[in-house]
Structures are given as C-alpha cells and as structure tokens.
C-alpha cells in the first residue's frame, strides 16, 4: 500500500506536469473544436451549395480517418512539406481538426430538432440567415445537444492520450517516464486512471446537471 502511494508522491513532478499538459490540451482542443464545429455546421446548413458540399466533404473524410493518423501526418509528414510544427501545437491542431468534425455533426442534429416555426417567425421579422442561425436556432439547438456535446468533449479528453505517442508529455506519457525510473507499472497506470476519473466524473456530473437544467420541453 505504501509503495502504491509512493508511486504518486515520489513522482509528483511527472504526474502534475503530465496532467497539466492534458488539461491544456483538453481546454485548447475544446475551444478549437467548438469553434471549428460551429463553423462547419454553419457551412453544412447554409443556403450556398458549394459551402454545403465542402462542409460535408470535410466531415466525411475526417470522421473516417484515425486520430493517430492525423497526428502522424502533422508530426512526420508536415515537416517534409516545409511546415514545421512543434509537438504541442501539432497536438492542439490534430485534436481540433478531428473533434471539430464530430462537434459539427452533433450541432447539426440539434438544429434539426428546432421547430420550423422558430425560423419562420425569425424570417418574418426580417432576419438574415446569419441572424436566424446565431440568434434564434443555434441557442435552442445548443441546449438540446448539450449531453452529446459533453460526451464528445469527454471523448476528446480521453483522446488527448494519443499525443503520448508523439512526444507530448501529457498524462498518457507518464507511463513511459516512470517505467524508466523503475516504478511499478500497474501502480502508475492505476494513478493515471484515477487522475482521468478526476476529470471525467465532474464532466459527467456537469452533463447530468445541464441535462436537467436546460431540458427543453417540446
């Protein structure tokens, strides 16, 4: 038991550094993918066919690409094209590119649940497409898709560990460091798991809370 706690206390430097990086990846990735997802969703529902097609092509391609491949391309192939990206920015970019496609689809399914009358009333008031979307439809759509949206962010939080394979020292990389220090691997993994639970459980609680608070009666 003492050894189990020792694994954490003796290596607190690595654990705190790893999970801080994970938190950073998560926050930047969440903001980035929400922005990208909203932009993509706007494209996919807008009246201009070219933009709709472009959005659909992006989403269908990225959703069928493994995240690890996106990482590998940004880290190994992009420098060969003259785009030198440091490991951490590459991780932000990969998570955003990948998660954005999923956020877009979630938002779009939410837009479909908003009653037709809402948009019609808004247009009757003379609102443009952008006003209808951002002032009337998206705020309502957003509330209905908060649970799947948080699940998506939760998945992204777990996906940050992929960065460990690409030289970013986040929580998933702690394992490799501590096995060099000769620590018990199982204990290390258990602590990493507990660390992730500390992130995941509040997210799930937030999801349940918002689900009830923001429930839309339709």
Partner 1 sequence: MNATVLYDAPGSRARVRHRLIGAVTIVGLAALVIFAIYRFWDTGQFEPLKWKQFEYPAIQAQLIDGLLGTLKAAGTAAVLALLFGATFASARISDAWIFRGPATFVVELFRAIPLLILIFFGYYVPVRFGMAISNFWALVAGLTVYNGSVLAEIIRAGIAAIPRGQSEAAYALGLQKTQVVTLILLPQAVRAMLPSIVGQLVVLLKDTALGFIITYPELLYVGKQMGSRLAFDLPYVPTYMVVAAIYISMCAALSAFANWLAHRGNGKPSPKPASPR
Residues that bind partner 1 (CB under 8 A): 45-51, 54, 60-61, 63-69, 72-73, 76-77, 80-83, 111, 114-116, 118-120, 123, 129, 132-133, 137, 158-162, 164-165, 172, 175, 185-186, 189, 192-193, 196-197, 200-201, 204
Rounded Cα–Cα distance for residues 137 and 116 (Å): 10
Chain-centre distance for alpha carbon 87: 18
Q: Say if CB 34 and CB 183 are below 8 A apart.
A: no
Nearer to partner 1, 31 or 155 (CB): 155
Nearer to partner 1, 35 or 120 (CB): 120
Q: How many C-beta atoms lie closer than 10 Å to residue 5's C-beta? A: 11
Q: Tell me the torsion sign for CA atoms 148, 149, 153, 159.
A: positive
Give me the least distance between CB of 139 and partner 1, in Å please: 13
Nearer to partner 1, 34 or 137 (CB): 137
Give me the least distance between CB of 128 and partner 1, in Å please: 9
Closest by CA to 14, choosing from 189, 200, 171, 180, is 171
Give me the least distance between CB of 172 and partner 1, in Å please: 5
């Amino acid at each position: 038991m003492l050894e189990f706690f020792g694994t954490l206390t003796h290596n607190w430097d690595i654990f705190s550094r790893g999970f801080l990086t994970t938190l950073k990846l998560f926050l930047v990735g969440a903001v980035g993918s929400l922005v990208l997802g909203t932009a993509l969703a706007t494209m996919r529902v807008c009246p201009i066919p070219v933009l709709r097609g472009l959005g659909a092509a992006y989403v269908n391609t990225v959703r069928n690409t493994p995240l690890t491949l996106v990482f590998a391309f940004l880290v190994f192939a992009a420098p060969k094209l003259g785009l030198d990206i440091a490991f951490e920015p590459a991780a932000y970019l990969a998570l955003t590119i990948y998660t954005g496609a999923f956020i877009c689809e979630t938002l779009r399914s939410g837009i479909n649940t908003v009653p037709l009358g809402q948009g019609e009333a808004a247009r009757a008031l003379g609102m443009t497409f952008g006003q209808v979307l951002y002032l009337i439809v998206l705020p309502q759509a957003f509330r209905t898709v908060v649970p799947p949206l948080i699940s998506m962010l939760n998945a992204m939080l777990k996906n940050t560990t992929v960065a460990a394979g690409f030289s970013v020292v986040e929580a998933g990389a702690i394992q490799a460091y501590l096995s060099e220090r000769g620590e018990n691997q199982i204990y290390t993994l258990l602590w990493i798991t507990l660390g992730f639970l500390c992130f995941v459980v509040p997210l799930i609680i937030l999801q349940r809370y918002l689900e009830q608070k923001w429930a839309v009666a339709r």
